[in-house]
Amino acid sequence: MRIVCPFCGERELSEFSYLGDAKPQRPVANAGEDAVYDYVYLRDNVAGVMAENWYHGGGCRAWLKVTRNTLTHEISAVEPTAGAGAAKVGA
């Protein structure tokens, strides 16, 4: 598995760190315990195409949103995460 960093080009996997499913959103402060439990512990655990957060820590240190198939490891899209400090995403 290699990831094509939108800033650096194609890089080996060991330059990246994984932070899992990009779908869950942190609940608002007064959302209640059930919402926090759901956010922290429950997972869709997608078997198939999944949007994920990856961090190019061994390279340009940009956060990336990677669309990857968990059944095949095929990567179909890599985008900078909004707010990553990159002009390309108009942060």
Partner 1 sequence: MKYSIFSLARAALSGHKNWQRTWRDASPKDHYDVVVIGGGGHGLATAWFLASEFGIKNVAVLEKGWIGSGNAGRNTTIIRSNYGLPGNTGFYELSMKLWERMEQDLNYNSMVSQRGVLNLYHSDAQRDAYARRGNTMRINGIDAELLDQAALKKMLPFLNFDHARFPVQGGLLQRRGGTARHDAVVWGYAHAASELGVDIIQNCEVTGFVRDGNGKVTGVETSRGKIGAGKVGMAVAGSSSRVAAMAGLRLPIESHVLQAFVSEAIKPLIPGVMTFGAGHFYVSQSDKGGLVFGGDIDGYNSYAQRGNLPVMEDVCEGGMALIPMIGRVRLLRQWGGIMDMSMDGSPIIDKTPVDGLYLNAGWCYGGFKATPASGFVFAHLLARDESHKEAALFRLDRFQRGAMIDEKGQGAQPNLH
Partner 2 sequence: MSNSAIPSSTIRMEDASVAEFSWDIRSPIERALVVGPYGALGEAGVSLTEIRNFDLVQVMARRGKAAEMTKPAKARFGVAAPEMPKAVSTADATLIWSGPDQFFVLSKGGKHTTEALVQTFASSASLSDQSHARVLISISGPKGRMMLAKLSSIDLHPDAFPAGAAATTSMDHTSVTLWRGNDRPDGQAVFNVLVFATFAESLWHTMLDSAAEYGVEIGHSEDLA
Q: Are 13 and 68 in contact (CB under 8 A)?
A: no
Site string for partner 2, 35-74 (x = CB under 8 A): ----------------------xxxxxx------------
- Comparing C-alpha atoms, which of 15, 38, 18 is closest to residue 26? 38
Question: Which of 8, 49, 55, 70 lies at the binding interface for partner 1 (CB under 8 A)?
Answer: 70
- Comparing C-alpha atoms, which of 51, 30, 54, 33 is closest to residue 42? 33
18 binds partner 1 (CB under 8 A): yes
Candidates 24-32, 65-73, 78-86: pick the segment binding partner 1 (CB under 8 A).
65-73
